[in-house]
Structure 1
Amino acid sequence: MTDTRISKAQMLHACLIKQQLIISDFEHEVKNLRAEITRHDDIASQDHRGTPERNEMLVRMEHELMFLKNELMMLEKIDEDKQSDEVELGAVVVTDQRIFFISTSVDFAEVNGQSFFGISTKAPIYHLMKGKKEGDCFEFSGVRYRILEVY
């Protein structure tokens, strides 16, 4: 396309950093919640325990943390040197509307002043564009996208 093309390596690096930061934040929150539950259990009387909701929240947060770590592992498996000619995991998809990196759900990221969206292979939009090539079109949420380049 042009010399302003975002390198897949830079996109992958940005996604990895973003995912690691999200995981770090979650780990911090889980640690704090565990400490709060432990403190509460230590001082609460038998007839006044308010921790079932907190325990449920902790379980949900630990489940989300596990999901985030799995997403990080998926990111780490992407080959930044692999060239794609169709929409698949690891592909960069440049459309007339925006740029997508098929990897994990990263709402919005930026590299060298150019923004892109990380899209999970589980996302509904991915299923509409999967296997498509340069010149193909797809529609999502009332927006029509024309694929200008896949790499």
Structure 2
Amino acid sequence: MKETVTKGLRKQLIEACLAKQRLLVADFRARMRTLTEAEGLGNEESFESADVARRSANVDEINTLNSQLEFALQELSVLEQLQTTEQVERRSAALGAIVVTDLTTFFISTSIEQFQVDGTTYIGISTQSPIFKQMENKKKGDSFRFHEKCM
């Protein structure tokens, strides 16, 4: 594990993650709005079985989306809290750390798909992820194993 980063880089990473997370939240909200408006949920004028089944499926999808939205909002909150500590140096793998390995570079924050900052690809991982559990508290120069790979 290697970590040599500037504090400005951490700020850029947080901003990139915030942008992705805000877009995800907006997408969930837009899909929920579309479903509720298109189906007129709460306005049960038609009781034909096909209409009722479609509405039921939409209610299930809305409930699923709502759960996903709540999780996305929690992760957004974590990222917003990270902004307040962006200048704090991390000496080990912990929330807010940038972990550089021979295989990839991780940003310990929230689960974020691959993203790029200044031409470098990063993967956002949460402190709940299995890979984080393997690297937790490791310091620069330490190694860890994940899926039979030494990092």
Short-chain TM bin: 0.7 to 0.9
Q: List alignment gaps of at least 5 residues for structure 2.
A: none
Does the 8 Å CA contact 2:7/2:86 hold for their aligned counterparts? no
If the length of structure 2 is used for normalisation, what is the TM-score? 0.87
Q: List alignment gaps of at least 5 residues for structure 1.
A: 146-151
Aligned partner letter, 1:116: Y
If the length of structure 1 is used for normalisation, what is the TM-score? 0.87
Instruction: Tell whether 2:128 aligns with 1:126.
Output: no
Mapped partners of 2:128, 2:11: distance in 1 = 22
Aligned partner letter, 1:82: V
- Greater relative CO (CA pairs within 8 A, separation 6+): 2
Identical columns (%):
32
Instruction: Please identify which structure carries the higher strand content.
Output: 1
Aligned to 1:74: 78
How many aligned positions are there? 145
Give secondary structure in 2 for the equivalent of 1:61. helix
Residue 91 of structure 2, aligned match among 85, 91, 96: 85
Residue 110 of structure 1, aligned match among 116, 124, 139: 116
1:32-83 C-alpha deviation (Å, 9 max, x unpaired): 1111332695442265511222111111101100110110000000111010
Does the 8 Å CA contact 2:7/2:87 hold for their aligned counterparts? no
> 1:109, CA displacement in angstroms?
0.8
Aligned to 1:58: 62
Residue 40 of structure 2, aligned match among 34, 38, 41: 38
Q: CA RMSD in A?
A: 2.2
Does the 8 Å CA contact 1:125/1:140 hold for their aligned counterparts? yes
> 1:31, CA displacement in angstroms?
0.6
